[in-house]
Amino acid sequence: MTARIVQITDLHLLADPLGELKGVCTRTNLQAVLDVLRRDFGSAERLIVTGDLAHDELRETYEVLRELLGDWLPKLRLIPGNHENRGFMRQVFGDRVTVVDDRNVFADAIGGWRLIGLDSQLPGEVRGQLGESQRDWLARELAAEPLRPTAVFLHHPPLKVGTGWLDEIGLEDAERLLELLRRSPQVKFVCCGHIHHEMTVAQANVLLLTTPSTSVQFLPETEMLVPDSVPPGFRIFDLEPDGSFRTRVVRVPIVTRVLP
């Protein structure tokens, strides 16, 4: 039976309900995305959030997010991004994450698949790092069920995305992760956020998918950060028991109200 999961990423939520990032009200955008999810994809079996939940890294912001997610909480799995406070994330979403060697991760199973979430936050830095201990944990998880199709989620992409300034703030120990993934053919794809636009990159037997932000979008193939005018979005996966899958990005146009 097909299992449907949804991924959202890079919420950059602020405690101030009118707070903006690069001219975008991140709470308004997130509420619009969640409205579409509830209306059109409410039967999805998981909602995975791949980091940068709270741009201001305040406990209050995580509490606001928990309230906004509401009925999605039983289906929710989340991991940190570079804009994150791990401690507050655990305090507010302690029932939704697993702590392994001070990292906020998850390992889940659904529809014949395994879903694994990694913590790529390097505190105080924009770039990411998994570290040896977490890679060892991942290796054990993969070795436990080598025949079960698996999806890996993390914030920082482990492959180059072709935008220089983003590649400079990618995953610091990417090659070590890739070595492990190349030895693990059950991993059908890796899905990330961080770059604020949609991409598909294949290298050797590693398929990387990235997903638009629910907040501001970044124009690809630029020398510096340039906001893009395309709407926010999210990604849908339909996972089949035989290890095949379908995926697509859904965009959510935002209506800007002009006051009289």
pTM for the model: 0.95
The answer to whether residue 258 sits within a structural domain is no
Whether 169 contacts 158, CB under 8 Å: no
Give the domain CATH number at 195.
Answer: 3.60.21.10
pLDDT value, residue 259: 39
pLDDT value, residue 255: 63
Its domain, for residue 150, covers 3-251
pLDDT value, residue 258: 40
The answer to whether residue 39 sits within a structural domain is yes
Regions in the chain scoring below 70 on pLDDT: 255-260
Q: How are the residues of the chain apportioned to helix, strand and coil, as percentages rounded to the nearest 5?
A: 25, 30, 45
The answer to whether residue 126 sits within a structural domain is yes
Taking the C-alpha atoms of residue 75 and residue 92, their distance in angstroms, rounded to an integer, is: 16
The total number of structural domains in the chain stands at 1
226: tokens are 């340039």
Distances, alpha carbon 135 to alpha carbons 10, 70, 105, 110, 167, in Å: 23, 32, 12, 22, 21
Among 130, 157, 142, CA closest to 188: 142
Whether 58 contacts 88, CB under 8 Å: yes
